[in-house]
Amino acid sequence: MLRELKTFLAVARHGTFAAAGLHIGLTQSAVSAQIRNLEQALGVRLFDRTGRQAIDHPAIRNLPLRIMFNKCLQIESEKPF
């Protein structure tokens, strides 16, 4: 499940499955499969797939899990290089 969470964070950060895949070393189809697995495991749709973009699904915007993911993104972006 950690792999799927890492993929989720990449999609949330980069906005598309293809861009996320480039940053974490996966193909677009592998990213899509991992997001689908995570959605099935959680029982909730995580993204609306609109054209090339992956937009947060309204059902997860206020979930505690989403808040945690946002905090992870914030912490990660503040890391020194």
pLDDT digits (tens, 9 = 90+) for 31-54: 999 999 888 887 778 887 776 666
C-alpha of 15 from chain center: 8
Residue 8 has pLDDT above 70, yes or no: yes
Domain 2-77 has CATH 1.10.3720.10: no
Q: What is the mean pLDDT of residues 16-21?
A: 91
What pTM was computed for the model? 0.68
Give residue limits of the domains in the chain: 2-77
The C-alpha atoms of residue 6 and residue 24 are separated, in whole angstroms, by: 8
CA angle, 47 then 21 then 78, to 5°? 80
pLDDT reported for residue 44: 78
